[in-house]
Structure 1
Amino acid sequence: MDQSKPHPTPSGPDAQPVVCARCGKKSLDGAPPTWTCSVENGTRQYFCVECARANLRAIEGRLDSSWW
């Protein structure tokens, strides 16, 4: 993973919109601190609170989201 690439800031004037990779829910102010971030195949993915809670065991087991 390339650590030099900036990722969306959680909030602030320069925040980028973030979309849940599972259900499509949008957060216009960047990723809230309650959302889960996962890097799969070199791609950063965000999951909303509801999707993360529903798939907590798979996330903790480090399974790719395509599996769950």
Structure 2
Amino acid sequence: MTSPTSPASPSGDGDDGSAEEPRHVVCARCGASAQAPGGAAPPTWIFSVEHGARRYFCAVCSRENLRSIEGRLDSDWW
């Protein structure tokens, strides 16, 4: 018989009730920074995975480089 290594929450989602600490993210292009609540980047920021590393870009840099970003996507995505 196997036993679980950690107790499950009553809802079954694995949430132990603790809130995640805000994470500090920095724009890979201009260096702007923001606090990211809940472990994700602010909703207006985008991210890219390049060479296995996640890079974040602020809303200003994203807008300024939108054409270049879309140019890298397959046409099915836009």
Q: TM-score, normalised by structure 2?
A: 0.58
Structure label with greater radius of gyration: 2
Q: What is the alpha-carbon distance in structure 1 between the residues aligned to residue 71 and residue 51 of structure 2?
A: 16
Structure 2 counterpart of 1:36, from 46, 50, 54: 46
Identity %: 58
Higher helix proportion (structure 1 or 2): 2
Q: What is the alpha-carbon distance in structure 1 between the residues aligned to residue 71 and residue 42 of structure 2?
A: 23
Residues 55-66 of structure 1 mapped to structure 2, 5 A cutoff: 55-62=65-72
Counterpart in the other structure of 2:59: 49
Q: What's the RMSD between the two structures over aligned residues? A: 1.9
Gaps of at least 5 residues in structure 2 are 1-18, 74-78
User: Do 2:35 and 2:42's aligned partners in 1 also have CA atoms closer than 8 Å?
Assistant: no
Offset at 1:28?
2.0
1:24 aligns with 2:34: no
* Number of corresponding residues: 52
User: Do 2:46 and 2:57's aligned partners in 1 also have CA atoms closer than 8 Å?
Assistant: yes
Gaps of at least 5 residues in structure 1 are 1-11, 64-68
